[in-house]
Structure formats: C-alpha cells, structure tokens
Structure 1
Amino acid sequence: MSGDPAPSGKPTASRLTVEVMVEESRWADTIPDAPAIAERAARAAYARAAADSFDPAPPDAAELTVVLADDAAVRALNRDYRGKDKPTNVLSFATLDDETAPPPPPGEPLFLGDVILALETCTVEASEAGKPVGDHLFHLVVHGVLHCLGFDHEADAEAEEMEALETAILRDHGLPDPYAPDPHPDDQQEEAAAPPPERER
C-alpha cells in the first residue's frame, strides 16, 4: 500500500448536505446510531477528497444520499445494474460518472449520487473480520462516497491510491487500517480482512 495522500492545498466545498435514509429498520437493532455514523463517514470522505475531485475547485454546495437497506434490496440493484444476482456490501451510483448530465441550476447544490448498504452482508463481514459493525459501516460509507467523487479501484495504481485514502480517513477518526490482516488471528480461523467493497458500474 502506498503512503498517505499528500494534502492538495485546494479548498474543500463549503457545504455538504447528507441525507441518510433508513429503509431497513433492523439497522437500529444492530447499530443504534447507524444514521449518525453514516453521515459522519460521508462528511469525512468528502472533506478529505473533494478538493482532488473537481477542477478547478469543488462546488459551493453538494449533496448525497446514504441508504441503509438490506441484502434483498441491494441484490435487486446489483442484478439490475451490474448483472450480478447476489447481494454485496455497498453500491455507489455516482452522478459524476454521467458526463452528459447537465450542471445544477445556479445556486443549487451538486448531487453526487447514492450510497446504498446491505445490512446482512455488512454484519456478516464485520463478524468474520472480528471488527465492530459500526466501524465497518463507517468504512463502507467512506468507500462509497469516494466512488461518488470519482475514485476507483479497477487498476492496481487506482486501488492503492483509494485504499491509502480510505486508511488515512479512518485513522483520522481513530479507526484501524481496514485492509490490514488481523495480526492475532484466532487459532481456528484464518487471517482475514473484510472483503473489499464493490460499486455499481
């Protein structure tokens, strides 16, 4: 993995509106403060990465949506938009990917896209990796928002840059490297980190 991303020196956007939609009520049973964690993660990712995502500078205002859904909902989206009939941990629908999309009207925020998470998959991954599910949620939202800002991991160099950025953001919030293997694996369990997040393409 490469080192920390160097500060760009560019200004970040002055306003970001984050709407968190809870479509699966069981999130509250699993992580009572899931909406707050999701919003905090989205803001952290945007604050760290927005300056490098826009030329010459980020918009004065932007907005995005985080949806706390379940495996069934994410599976349907994954099937319909990616041709993969299975759930995944997080999907990002980035409006910046659409080069034909018109800019927002003057004074209106730029909509960055939707980040959608699957409860059951997120919970299982966190358990298998031996990490708090709230920490995993934070990471997945960061990952999804970075996709909305144009980051990707198709090529090795892109993946290294994106993983380094995610690791730096999580460290800023007191969370460990999400890609590092467990240094003290259980005797009966192989070393494992949570599977890397996916995205809608």
Structure 2
Amino acid sequence: MVTTNSRRRRPARKAGPPQIELRVAARNAAHAARVIRAAAREFALPDEWISMSLVGDKEISRLNLDWRGRGSPTDVLSWSPGEIVISLDTARRQAREGGWTLALELRRLLAHGILHCRGYDHDAAARMAAAERRMLGRDGMVGESLSEREGKQVGRRRRPKSI
C-alpha cells in the first residue's frame, strides 16, 4: 500500500493594505502628521493595523504614569496590537538636541514603536537596534538607535573576563 501526503494547498490570500489611523492632539502638528502618515505607510506590513496618536508632554506623562508608573514625559509608548503614542514636544526637543530634523526624529520614534508592537524589546537591544536600522535605512538612522541608548541606560551586567 502506498501512502501519499495529498494535502491540498489553500490558494494564497492576497494581503490587504495596512490599516493606519492617526489622532492628533498636539499643537502645531500639521507637518508632523504628514511625516507620520507617510512613514507609517512605508513601515507597515500588509494587513498590519497601526493606530498612532501625536500628543504633548502633559498627555504622554499621564499615560506613562498610568501604564509604566513613571510620571514624566517619554518620547514614545506602544501597546500591542499596534497602538503607538508619540510626544511631539519630546520629539521636537530630541531633534533639536540631536541636531537633526523633526521629520527624522518622528520616523525614528515611529519605527521604534512599531517594533515594540511586533514584539521587539529593550532586553534584546542589539536585535532591536538592527531592526530599526533595517527599517530606517542608513540615511534615515540618526544619532544612536533608541534601543542602543536604552541598552546603555539599563547597564546590563556582563560576565567578568577571566584573568
């Protein structure tokens, strides 16, 4: 008796476009909203859902306190499956301090938030930094990756070298 594995293959389903939503609750955000929408279309995977909010430092501080127990502003917060909140105030400040454009900083923050939604974490900072570079490309990567910066702040213990 001859047996064969005759499973039928399902026809490939054509992936739909990503679903992208943007809520703007920050002042003077028209340019930032255009940058974020364009970057989201570029970074999103087919069928991926991304809901983004541009807020000020006051709102992101409240969210940071509610969700992380830290009552200070942060640049980006994210939750699965695809919710991302970016502080436009902090993004402007970081761009100015870094010497690059607000557009580049917003792209960097959005990429970072999307990667968190996809399961990347600061515990694997090098892996996340590499993914950020792949998303942003050489020309789009400004300064230090957020993951690299966070990894340095965590101050991981390393095994001492043998003498």
Asked if these proteins are the same fold (TM beyond 0.5), I'd say: yes
Question: Matches of 1:195 and 1:118 in 2, distance apart?
Answer: 18
Which residue of 176, 186, 199 corresponds with 2:141? 176
Please, which of 127, 147, 150 is the counterpart of residue 161 of structure 1?
A: 127
The structure whose RCO (Cα within 8 Å, separation 6+) is larger is 1
| Unaligned runs of at least 5 residues, structure 1 | 1-11, 48-59, 95-111, 181-193, 197-201
1:130 aligns with 2:116: no
Q: Percent identity at matched positions?
A: 30
Conserved in 2, the CA contact under 8 Å of 1:170 and 1:177?
Answer: no
Greater C-alpha Rg: 2
| Aligned pairs (5 A) from 1:53-72 | 61-72=47-58
Q: Classify the secondary structure of the residue corresponding to 1:179.
A: coil
Note the 1:77-156 alignment, pairs <5 A: 77-94=63-80, 112-154=81-123
Q: Distance in 2 between matches of 1:177 and 1:128?
A: 12
Q: Displacement, 1:149?
A: 1.0
**Contact preservation (8 Å) 1:92, 1:114:** yes
Q: Helix, strand or coil: the match of 2:113?
A: helix
Contact 1:74–1:116 (Cα < 8 Å) also in 2: yes
Q: Hey, what's the Cα distance between the residues in 1 that align with 2:86 and 2:52?
A: 8
Cα distance between partner residues in 2 of 1:88 and 1:170: 21
5+ residue gaps, structure 2? 1-13, 151-163
Runs of 4+ in 1 over 4 A off after TM superposition: none
Could you say what the CA RMSD is over the residues aligned between the two structures, in angstroms? Answer: 2.4
Q: Work out which of the residue numbers 1, 5, 19 in structure 2 matches 1:17.
A: 19
What is the letter of the counterpart of residue 179 of structure 1?
E
Residue 54 of structure 2 aligns to a residue whose secondary structure is strand
Equivalenced residue count is 136
TM-score by length of 1: 0.61
Q: TM-score, normalised by structure 2?
A: 0.73
Preserved CA contact (<8 Å) 1:79 1:86 = yes
